[in-house]
Chain A
Amino acid sequence: ILNVEQSPQSLHVQEGDSTNFTCSFPSSNFYALHWYRWETAKSPEALFVMTLNGDEKKKGRISATLNTKEGYSYLYIKGSQPEDSATYLCALTGTASKLTFGTGTRLQVTL
């Protein structure tokens, strides 16, 4: 059974702060690591899919890195804005195509 862990569980930052979250996972049977952004009452939005050790991806102020050998991924948000407030989900694709999710990190950005 894959176990995906995320930390912290929740985070409260001020507008303009930069922040980062961690996703850890077992490094065996790894196929892909996904980051999703989920706002209440909306569809979880895919941010990144990463497959290769050392992958780094960026979308605007958000970026992510992947270390498959040690089993972790970081998500960074530079200069947080109130619209970044959401739950950020990490999920792993293992030997089957299903996603195994972490608990999520709930981010709140205030003015």
Chain B
Amino acid sequence: EPEVTQTPSHQVTQMGQEVILRCVPISNHLYFYWYRQILGQKVEFLVSFYNNEISEKSEIFDDQFSVERPDGSNFTLKIRSTKLEDSAMYFCASRDYQISYEQYFGPGTRLTVT
């Protein structure tokens, strides 16, 4: 069964460093998302991406964040200058826009900023 994959599973970085989180969505899906969960809090929406552009973003998704679909298969989230409060589990999801509302999630990348 097709699945969403994410790499790495765990990333440790120092404050101020750039990180890139990678996702491979399900191949025929058209809509892509990033969510995150800070420990003890709700899963929260960051950004959605459709037709090679951002379709919606949350207040969290400021100028330090960017997304890209560089090669038609990968979907990346870049944080330019990480802060301690960026430490969280980051989830990628994808959706077959034509069929249903259902979003399929990857296993997440745990980002730890020290």
A residues within 8 Å of B by Cβ? Answer: 31-32, 34, 36, 41-44, 46, 49, 51, 89, 91, 93, 96-104
Question: Does B76 count as interface, using CB distance less than 8 angstroms?
Answer: no
- Residue of B97, B100, B107 touching A42 (CB-CB under 8 A): B107
4 smallest A-B Cβ distances: which pairs?
A101-B43, A32-B101, A98-B45, A44-B105
When the two chains form their complex, are residues B101 and A43 in contact, meaning their CB atoms are under 8 A apart? Answer: no
A contact residues around B42 at 8 Å (CB): 101-104
17 contacts between A and B (CB under 8 A): A34-B102, A41-B107, A43-B104, A46-B102, A46-B103, A96-B48, A96-B56, A97-B48, A97-B97, A98-B48, A99-B33, A99-B35, A99-B93, A99-B103, A100-B45, A101-B42, A102-B42
Q: A42-B107, A43-B106, A49-B102 are in contact. Are A101 and B4 (CB under 8 A)?
A: no
Number of B positions contacting A (CB below 8 A)? 27
With contacts defined as CB atoms under 8 Å apart, how many contacts are there between chain A and chain B in the complex?
57
B56 x A34 contact (CB < 8 A): no
- Asked if B18 is an interface residue, CB under 8 A from chain A, the answer is no
| In contact, A97 and B101 (Cβ under 8 angstroms) | yes
Residues from chain B with a CB closer than 8 A to the CB of A44 are 91, 105
B102 CB contacts on chain A under 8 angstroms: 34, 46, 49
The minimal Cβ–Cβ distance linking A44 to chain B, given in whole angstroms, is 4
**Beta-carbon contacts of B71-110 to A below 8 Å, as 1s and 0s?**
0000000000000000000010101010011111111100
Chain A residues near B9 (CB-CB < 8 A): 41
In Å, the complex CA distance between A19 and B53 comes to 43
Residues in chain B near residue A34, CB distance under 8 A: 101-103
